[in-house]
Each structure stands twice: as structure tokens, then as C-alpha cells.
Amino acid sequence: MRHHSRRFRLLAASATTALVLAGLAPTLAGGSAQAQDGTFAPRLVTVDTPTRADKELLQTLGLDLTEHAGHDYVEVVLHTGADLSRLVDAGLDYDVRIPDLTLRAAQNNKVNEEYAAATLESPLPSGRDEYRTLADYNDDIRELAAIRPGIAKRIELPHRSLDGRTVYGVEIGRDVQKAEDGRPTFALFGVHHAREWPSGELAMEFAYDLVKNYGSDDRITGLLDRARVVVVPVVNVDGFELSRTDGGVIDLREADGGGTATILGTPGNAYKRKNCRIVDGQDTPDGTCRAGSATSPGGFGTGVDLNRNYGGFWGGPGASDMFADPTYRGPAPFSEPEIQNVRELVSSRQVTTLISNHTFSNLVLRPNGVHPDTIGPDGLPVGNAPDEEGLKALGAKMTAANGYRNIHGWELYDTTGTTEDWSYNATGGYGYTFEIGADEFHPPFPQVVEEYLGSGEYAGKGNREAYLAALENTVDTATHAVIKGKAPAGATLRLRKQFSTPTWESSFTDTLDTTMKVGSRGSYQWHVNQSTRPVVMDKLVQITEDEPVRTETIQGGPTTIGQSVDHPFSVTESGIDVLQVDLDWPTPDDMDLEVYRKNADGSLTQVGSSGNFVNEKERAEIAAPAPGDYVLRVINFASTAPTYTLTATLFDSTLVDSEEVPGLIENWTMTCEVDGKVRQRESVVVDRGQRVRVDLSECGRRR
């Protein structure tokens, strides 16, 4: 995980230190924590899941699982005492990581206020220095389209939200006001989960970046000449409006006499996850979401988890069929209007690359969402994605820019009904989930700046460079297909495909329907996805098991505040998937962890770090560590702990068995239309990386 800049740590510490000195230091390591009024404090805990069976058990408890997980842990939000009881009754061990999320939100708001007060204009493309509200997003989209209408236009998605709101996006590209002209599309989404504010911020900043720099930055100009970009920063508009509104009013105030700090406000919906479906399968009058959410602590019990509602693998592992569960999948695939919006947008364009932003965990996740040896609805193991090699390679380019881990979705934990599992398997366009940030759902705003622009060894890169790498993949003809030929000038060409897709319980009918307009020269070139969907292609089923290869434990201490201690560690094994380093200590103090690779000349290159807040233990994960010597550096930031424990564990994915499963070949139906009438129809079979010529001259002859 990435280490926060020291500037950010000092800002955050100003709020935290005051609370600790006031005697409000929270209880750790499995102890209970209460809010200041004596009620249960919503908290973030790390649940030990040393085996796959433990993760599967955890997913049956109806708890609010985050996207922060590893080989042997999953972080969970406990909203109520009943949540805690279910966890304890299941016999799963846990540690408290953030004892009071309300207090944390208040601390973060204080840091945000200090940053905004001290910052005239941030380094972000928009210059923003604080989180946007929903109204801010809508205003920014409108402004971008007004400033440069030749390359940016506002799009209004067809389905209003359950509370009656319109969902807006922005489409960016050269001559964007003109009809589709055969260029491929990069789609970027944010805020499927209401509480994940940075996911929308980074999407919106990338839109600003493109619009601002088109014409002056050669790289951006060249990419927007060859592609279109569609950004929808807030998919879950209702949930975000509640989360952002409630989360923004939690404030720290001093009690009478200036002694004990108190909190003004309650968490309300600050940590809401789902959308505003109040009654399962039924619509309710517009504007009733807040009242309906009040019946559930944190608003997490009502609604549909939008990132479990997509049709791909809908209803399988990692998605609940119980309405009150945080991962409730909905009564049917694509039942929710917000997800219908995304489906229709992707289905109407040739989206060759897609990213769905989330928080948190510093991960880039790729299909599939379930373990390869999971038996799918067809009775066969799901296996790896047919394009595993290409998906992994692009993931590596993106993680080289942002420092995240490049892994399969199932390596977090099993999920089904997610954005990229549907989009990739239905269209063939590469799809990913970004889990932005190391620590929490909506951290202090300075961290958003760092996540976009990069910091430390990733300074000047970050997610900005990762998104640009995705946009470069969008136009790379090696990762999609091209159809070209002659056709009447001004004719409308259409590629269409309708098919039945199995869910875990039945099936649904899906349709891809895209068009382009032929230019004045009477020839066309259309960048498209392959004709055969990945879900029905040949696949190699590999059954693997993640096993610890070796564990080494180091006892250290005492240390001096402000000093660090280096411990040597050697990776002698080849082909290791992950080096996981954990730092633990017995008192509620603040220590940090950094991991370095020792170079041949004796110099050190940082490969991992963990710099959490006070009271939080540290963990760094290094993907695919090369054999060699490493240094594990323990930094005493503010700790009087007499000892500490450093644990280094190497994990490897062991191949148990493999099998080749034959697939199908599908075609596009291509038509040429003049004056609304189909004059020529062709069947087109095309593979990824292939170019085919289809002559549509017949379409121009009078009939």
C-alpha cells in the first residue's frame, strides 16, 4: 500500500492528536468501541480469513464487506451491535481498524477544511480543493460542454433514478457533436457505491484533463482524434446525494470549558453503500429515499448493491438474495434504473476499454470475479477469462503508473453481477475495477489529489497516467477488431447482435446495437469489438490454490520516536505471487512500514509501504516480488511500544489441474441503411486484433 505524504500525515494528525490527548483514544484489537453518547459506534474491522472457506463463511453473514481484502483478511463495516454479534457468533477473529467511523469522518472534514483554507487552487486539472456535491458534478459537466462544445458534450442518460434524478455524463472527442464515425470508446464510471466519493472525483478530473489539454498536449490530442471518451462520474446519484450531504456535516466541536471534543452530527447515510430502492421490486414516490433509509442504520440495509445487479454471472457467489444484505443483487439482472443506464450506454457504443472506479484497496481488478474452479451455471468450472494474458498486461501498465496491485477480481473475494464481468463477457471490451486509495471510503481530500497525480515514486503518474494507458488501449487495434470497406456516403451502418446469456439461476436476453455514419468519401473504417463474446469462447480452466510458501517472523524493539530500524529479508523462491509484510505492536500508537528492494550497488528502491493513521496496524503487499534481498523498515512515527512484531509471508498460486473447454463462434449482423431502409445485410465474423473488409457498395444501388 502507498505511504501518505508527510504533509498529509501532519495535517491529519492535528485533529487526531487533540482527541487522543483528550482521553478519547479508541479501543483496538477486538475490543468494543462506543460513540460518545454511549451508542454503538459504526466501525471498520479487519476479519481474519486464512482459508477460502473462511471468506465464504464471512460472505454468508449479511455484513457490509468492503473492497479491502487480501489473502487472509477482509475488511468489514459493522453498523450495529447485531453486526458485531453475528461476526463473533461465527467464530471469526477480527481487529478493529477504525473504531468510530463517525469520529473519523469528523477528523477528515477538519483536514478538508484546513486544506481548502490553505489552498487557493489545487494541482488537479479543475483546481478543486474539496469534494464535490452532486450539484457540483452536474454544474461541472455543463461547464465543460459549454467551454469547449467542439470536443465535449453533456449526455443525459435515459433512465431517471428511483428518487427522480437525472443522471448526467460527458462525452469527449474531436467533432463530438457529429454522428458516430467509427472510433472506439473508452468508458469511465464512478460512484456505484454511494460512500466512495473519490471514485467520482478522479473520473471528473480526467474529463477536465482531456478537455483542458486537447490541442495543447500532443498525446491527449492524438488520442481524442482517434477515440471518444464517455465519463459518468456518479452512477448512483440518489445514494451519493445522501452520503455526501450527511458526511459533509459531521463536525468536531469542543465541549464547554474547551476540554473534551464532541461531534456535531451523526453518520446518517455517510457510509451508505446501495441505491435508494426502499421496497424490494417496487418504485416509491420521488424524494422518499431519505425517509426510507432512516429505517436502516447507515442506510445500508435498504437498496440494491448496484455492482451486483449487472447481468454477467448475476446471482452467483458474492451476491446476496436477501434485500437487507449489503450485497443484495436485486430481484433480477438489470432491475435497477442506474444499471440500465450503464447497460444501454455500453451496448450502444463500441466500448473497447472500460473502468469502473471504486474505493478502497489500491487494486486494479480484472475478470473474472469468481475463482476459476467455481462451477458455473453450465456445470463447468468458470475458468480464467479467455483474454487473461492481454487483460493482465494492460493491468500491469496501469499499476506501473499508480502503484496498485494487478489481480483478478476473485483474488479480493468472489463477486458476481459486477460491471466488468458483464461488459467484458458481453462485448469483449477490456474491463476493470479500480479500488482507489489505501485506507478508507472517502479519505481527506489531499489524498484524492495524490491518487490522481501520483506521489512518491509515482509522482507525475498516478491514476491520470493509468487512465491514459487505458485510453491508449482503447485505440490499439491489437486489442480490438477493425471492419473497413466501401459504402454510400451518408449511409448509416449498424452492427447488431442479440443473444441469451445465462445467469446463475436462468438466463436473460441481451442486445448490442451500435451505429456509425459513412463519411463523404464513400469509405468507412469501424473500430469494433470481436464478434464472439468471451463468455462463450474457448477457455482454459485452471484450478489453483493460494498457499503460503514461507513465513518469517521478526521480533523487534524498543525504538525511539522519529527513528527507524531496518530488517533484512530475502526472497529466494521464483514465481512468487505476493510478498505480504505485516507490522503489529501492543499499544495504540503510530508506527509506519516501508519495504525496499536492495539493488546490486547496495542502493534501495522502495517497492511497498503502509502509513496508516494512529492506532492502525500496517500491512504492505508487493505483487510478484523478484528473487533477491529486501529491507523491511519499521518507522517509529509516534510510538512508545516496547516491542513490535514484523511478519513476512510469501504466497504462491499453485496449479492443481487444467482443462481446455471448447467454445462457440458468433457473428455480427451488419446492415447498411439509406433513408431509414436496410439496403444490404452481411454476416461478419471477426476476432480480436483482426481486420476484415466488407464491401457495402450494393447498398448504394437504387432498388
State what percent of residues in the chain have pLDDT above 90: 57
Can you say whether the dihedral through the CA atoms of 283, 285, 290, 292 is positive or negative? negative
Could you please report the per-residue DSSP string of 2-32?
PPPPHHHHHHHHHHHHHHHHTT-PPP-TT--
Query: When comparing pLDDT for 586 and 23, which is higher?
Result: 586
- Alpha-carbon span 189 to 355, nearest angstrom: 6
Would you place residue 101 in the very low, low, confident or very high pLDDT band (cuts 50, 70, 90)?
confident
Mean pLDDT of all residues in 112-120: 91
Q: In what order do the strands lie in the sheet with 523-528?
A: 523-528, 481-486, 691-693
Per-residue cell: 688: 480480436
One-letter amino acid of 337? P
Could you please report the per-residue DSSP string of 600-650?
TTS-EEEEEEE---TT--EEEEEESPPSEEEEEEEEEEE---S-EEEEEEE
The CATH fold of domain 27-99: Alpha-Beta Plaits (3.30.70)
Query: When comparing pLDDT for 572 and 619, which is higher?
Result: 572
One-letter amino acid of 110? K
Neighbours of 533 (CB within 10 A): 22
Q: Which CATH number fits domain 541-661: 2.60.120.380, 1.10.10.10, 3.40.50.300, 2.40.50.140?
A: 2.60.120.380
CB 187 within 8 A of CB 346: yes
Mean pLDDT of all residues in 660-687: 90
What residues contact 218, with CB distance under 8 A and at least 6 apart?
none
Q: What pLDDT is stored for residue 463 in this prediction? A: 98
Query: When comparing pLDDT for 440 and 402, which is higher?
Result: 402
Helix (H, G, I), strand (E, B) or coil at 202: helix
pLDDT in tens, 184-208: 999 999 999 999 999 999 999 999 9
Beta bridge partners of 251: 264
Mean pLDDT of all residues in 113-128: 94
Would you place residue 433 in the very low, low, confident or very high pLDDT band (cuts 50, 70, 90)?
very high
Alpha-carbon dihedral of residues 484, 485, 489, 493, nearest 10 degrees? -50
- Alpha-carbon span 222 to 702, nearest angstrom: 39
What residues contact 299, with CB distance under 8 A and at least 6 apart?
194, 239, 242, 268, 269, 272, 274, 293
Q: Does 149 score more than 90 pLDDT?
A: yes
Give kind and range of the element (H or E) at residue 308: none
- Alpha-carbon span 565 to 632, nearest angstrom: 8
pLDDT in tens, 492-505: 999 999 998 889 88
Query: When comparing pLDDT for 108 and 611, which is higher?
Result: 108
- Domains 481-538+662-700 and 541-661 alike in fold: no
Global confidence as pTM: 0.81
Would you place residue 661 in the very low, low, confident or very high pLDDT band (cuts 50, 70, 90)?
low
Lowest mean pLDDT among 31-45, 123-137, 205-219, 429-443: 31-45
Beta bridge partners of 548: 651
Lowest mean pLDDT among 249-253, 267-271, 515-519: 249-253
pLDDT in tens, 355-411: 999 998 899 999 999 888 888 887 888 888 999 999 999 999 999 999 999 999 888
Q: Which of 75, 420, 435, 451 is catalytic?
A: 435
Per-residue cell: 542: 485452471
Mean pLDDT of all residues in 86-92: 91
Q: Which CATH superfamily is 481-538+662-700 part of? A: Carboxypeptidase-like, regulatory domain (2.60.40.1120)
Q: What are phi and psi of 326, to 5 degrees?
A: -60, -30
The CATH fold of domain 126-242+306-475: Aminopeptidase (3.40.630)
Q: What pLDDT is stored for residue 557 in this prediction? A: 86
Give kind and range of the element (H or E) at residue 238: helix 237-249
Query: When comparing pLDDT for 67 and 636, which is higher?
Result: 636
Spans of all domains in the chain: 27-99, 126-242+306-475, 243-299, 481-538+662-700, 541-661
Backbone region of residue 305 per phi and psi (left: phi > 0; alpha: psi in -120 to 50; beta: other values): beta
One-letter amino acid of 420? E
Per-residue cell: 680: 444490404
pLDDT in tens, 441-491: 899 999 999 999 999 999 999 999 999 999 999 999 999 999 999 999 999
Q: Does 539 score more than 90 pLDDT?
A: no
State what percent of residues in the chain have pLDDT above 70: 88
Neighbours of 242 (CB within 10 A): 23
Q: What pLDDT is stored for residue 1 in this prediction? A: 27
What residues contact 584, with CB distance under 8 A and at least 6 apart?
617, 644, 645, 647
Write a three-state SS string for 249-300: HCEEEECHHHCCEEEECCCCCCCCCCCCCCECCECCCCCCHHHHHCCCHHHC
Q: What pLDDT is stored for residue 21 in this prediction? A: 26
Q: Does 166 score more than 50 pLDDT?
A: yes
Q: What pLDDT is stored for residue 16 in this prediction? A: 33
Per-residue cell: 155: 449526455
CB 347 within 8 A of CB 513: yes
Per-residue cell: 626: 523478484
Q: Does 154 score more than 80 pLDDT?
A: yes
Query: When comparing pLDDT for 161 and 24, which is higher?
Result: 161
Using only the alpha carbons of the chain, give its radius of gyration: 25
Active site residue 435: yes
Q: Does 10 score more than 80 pLDDT?
A: no
Q: What are phi and psi of 698, to 5 degrees?
A: -55, -30
Q: What are phi and psi of 531, to 5 degrees?
A: -80, -30
- Alpha-carbon span 697 to 34, nearest angstrom: 74
Among 416, 308, 413, 434, smallest CA distance to 366 is for: 434
Give kind and range of the element (H or E) at residue 546: strand 539-556
Per-residue cell: 192: 456505484
Would you place residue 147 in the very low, low, confident or very high pLDDT band (cuts 50, 70, 90)?
very high
Q: Does 6 score more than 60 pLDDT?
A: no
Lowest mean pLDDT among 109-113, 428-432, 541-545, 587-591: 541-545
- Alpha-carbon span 667 to 683, nearest angstrom: 6
Among 668, 658, 662, 695, smallest CA distance to 680 is for: 695
